[in-house]
Amino acid sequence: MLHLRRRRRTAIASLAATLLVLPIAASAHAAQLDASAARSDALVARPAAVLAAPDISVAAVKAHLTQLQSIATANGGNRAHGRPGYLASVNYVKGRLDAAGFTTVVQSFTYGGATGYNLIADWPGGDVNDVLMTGAHLDSVTAGPGINDNGTGSAAILETALAVAAQDLTPGRHLRFAWWGAEEQGLRGSTHYVNSLTAAARAQITGYLNFDMVGSPNPGYFVYDGDNSDGTGSGPGPAGSAVIESVIEGYFAGIGVPTRGTDFDGRSDYGPFIARGIPAGGTFTGAEGTKTSAQAALWGGTAGARFDPCYHAACDTTSNVDDTALDRNSDAIAHTVWTLSAGSGGGPGTPVWADGFETATGWTVNPSAADTATSGGWERGTPGATSSGTATQLTARTGTYDLVTGAAAGSSAGANDVDGGITSVRSPAITLPSSGTLTLSFAYYLAHLNNASSGDYLRVRVVGTTTGTVLTVSGAASNRAASWSTASADVSAFAGQSVRILVDAADASTASLVEAAIDDVVITQS
């Protein structure tokens, strides 16, 4: 991460660049519902395959850091722009990606009389008109090896990319990873990359994730403030940045780690992207700033000490990393990539609204004051797993919280299930864009025993100027085990409207056991 005083907003002059353009394997958008099914009175949801984000091995991430340290040690103690240690770092990362099946491009540029390099890696498949890009700067300052700044971000996104390959992920969005050169000289590599793109190519990048210093030894847990909810600093990022922020904050809330916003202040490689209106987000564990007493109470560590006492110094070695912070941030990166790539069934597109229920966002129970259920009503909660010969209630699909009927396990499987009729819950108002294909995606289950009937159900509707049903799952006189499924529906019929999502569950049978849940709700635009 560069010093703020060294940032340059002016155009970079005299950049002699060479870009080796390689073909990127493309595939069509993930199948969408037929437009005729998007009528507001008869929307139909479709199931989709699910792959959960992997647990990124902190040992594997640290192994990359060891390699970067060895490269610096063998090359004058640093990996700085124009120095042999930087090119050796590029070659190390490129070799790992090439072996994993990525298409890699090394883009060269000139700054300060020296040649710099960006490494761009594309994962085959996904919609190339809807690119989710993840980046970190790979260079260090000349004073030291730059292991926290920014070996940690570089290594964490490398291991995430290798996890994409290991799972053979098939996302709706095209995935691109980048390692930037000359960030410490004023965001030179990322600025060159963004400026070198045609307007059409820039428009294809619908989200950028940036990770710079994610293992500071006296760490904070900062998330770029996409919606300017902290009310200070440089203001919100481009439209869509708040969704990225919400996904990252939801992950940390799910593991019980509080976060705080940090401004888009121009100190890292998101700068050229947000300047072009590309939604951005990411995490940061602190640089030369001093941890306050309040922050130490929140996160532990030492009040009055710098987040990174070796910032831009020779002591920024493999000993200058907090393993816990590195582990948490590495997993947060994978969670964010998997979630926003729509590889878990969300379909392609730029997220415009999302709720993983890790924080309360204003869902209203019994919004019409017409519910009849006597127990097991909807709530945002931490569900207890229950079973009665078959699973009837599961823990949250991701994180800790979901929308669930009667979260507590109780003394028996039937203690807190839906009884006596209908229970409903409604989302806060959601303002939809007026253009593009809009897709609502979510995870769900309906579980019941063989004393259920077709009168029992789970139903999801979108309510705007009209009402459209996007999912109905009916009960039957058989055991149905709780199992997370996903569904998505084209809701473009509601474009430009303020809508709410309405979820109902019903136990209309005598003495039947019915449970239901909803998680990971996302609306995307493509």
Q: Who contacts 353 (Cβ-Cβ below 8 Å, separation ≥6)?
A: 243, 430, 522, 523
How far lies 390's CA from each of 384, 386, 507, in Å? 15, 9, 18
Residue 430 is predicted with a pLDDT of 93
User: Which one is predicted more confidently, 12 or 161?
Assistant: 161
Confidence of residue 51 (pLDDT cuts 50, 70, 90): low
Asked whether 316 and 144 are in contact (CB, 8 A), the reply is yes
The model's pLDDT over 406-423, given as tens digits with 9 standing for 90+, comes to: 999 877 767 888 988 999
DSSP strand pairing (127-137 vs 173-180): parallel
SS3 382: coil
> Is the pLDDT score of 37 beyond 70?
no
Beta partners for 332? none
- Burial class, 41, CB count within 10 angstroms (exposed 0-12 / middle 13-18 / buried 19+): exposed
Mean pLDDT of 443-472: 92
What percentage of the chain carries pLDDT values higher than 70? Answer: 86
Q: Who contacts 52 (Cβ-Cβ below 8 Å, separation ≥6)?
A: 338, 344, 398
Alpha carbons 120 and 17: distance in angstroms, whole number? 14
Helix and strand tally (H, E) in the chain? Answer: 9, 24
Residue 33 is predicted with a pLDDT of 23
Nearest to 386 by CA among 367, 418, 411, 409: 409
Alpha carbons 526 and 524: distance in angstroms, whole number? 7
Confidence of residue 122 (pLDDT cuts 50, 70, 90): very high
The residue type of 329 is N
Residue 388 is predicted with a pLDDT of 81
Mean pLDDT of 98-109: 97
Confidence of residue 5 (pLDDT cuts 50, 70, 90): very low
User: Which one is predicted more confidently, 524 or 87?
Assistant: 87
Mean pLDDT of 143-158: 98
Confidence of residue 484 (pLDDT cuts 50, 70, 90): confident
Residue 49 is predicted with a pLDDT of 34
DSSP state of 90: H
> Is the pLDDT score of 9 beyond 70?
no
Mean pLDDT of 426-438: 92
Q: What is the CATH topology of the domain spanning 52-343?
A: Aminopeptidase (3.40.630)
User: Which one is predicted more confidently, 219 or 12?
Assistant: 219
What percentage of the chain carries pLDDT values higher than 90? Answer: 61
Residue 4 is predicted with a pLDDT of 55
> Is the pLDDT score of 29 beyond 80?
no
> Is the pLDDT score of 50 beyond 50?
no
- What are the sequence ranges of the domains in the chain? 52-343, 355-525
Asked whether 186 and 171 are in contact (CB, 8 A), the reply is no
The model's pLDDT over 374-394, given as tens digits with 9 standing for 90+, comes to: 989 999 999 998 888 888 899
Q: Who contacts 479 (Cβ-Cβ below 8 Å, separation ≥6)?
A: 389, 390, 448, 449, 450
Mean pLDDT of 215-236: 77
DSSP state of 494: G
Chain Cα centroid distance, residue 475: 34
* Residues noted as catalytic: 183
> Is the pLDDT score of 120 beyond 80?
yes
User: Which one is predicted more confidently, 183 or 479?
Assistant: 183
Rounded to 5°, angle at Cα 440 from 435 and 443: 165
> Is the pLDDT score of 249 beyond 70?
yes
Alpha carbons 89 and 66: distance in angstroms, whole number? 12
Confidence of residue 342 (pLDDT cuts 50, 70, 90): low
Residue 284 is predicted with a pLDDT of 97
Count the Cβ atoms, other than its own, within 10 Å of residue 368: 9
Confidence of residue 228 (pLDDT cuts 50, 70, 90): low
Confidence of residue 347 (pLDDT cuts 50, 70, 90): very low
Residue 390 is predicted with a pLDDT of 83
Q: Who contacts 148 (Cβ-Cβ below 8 Å, separation ≥6)?
A: 213, 215, 216, 217, 308, 310, 311, 316, 320, 321
Mean pLDDT of 202-213: 95
As assigned by CATH, the class of the 355-525 domain is: mainly beta
Residue 361 is predicted with a pLDDT of 87
Angle between helices 58-74 and 84-100 (to 10 degrees): 140
Mean pLDDT of 471-499: 90
Angle between helices 323-340 and 153-166 (to 10 degrees): 50
> Is the pLDDT score of 349 beyond 70?
no
Mean pLDDT of the chain: 86
Residue 93 is predicted with a pLDDT of 98
Mean pLDDT of 217-226: 93
- Burial class, 28, CB count within 10 angstroms (exposed 0-12 / middle 13-18 / buried 19+): exposed
The model's pLDDT over 258-297, given as tens digits with 9 standing for 90+, comes to: 999 998 988 999 999 999 999 999 999 999 999 999 999 9
- Burial class, 431, CB count within 10 angstroms (exposed 0-12 / middle 13-18 / buried 19+): exposed
User: Which one is predicted more confidently, 433 or 136?
Assistant: 136
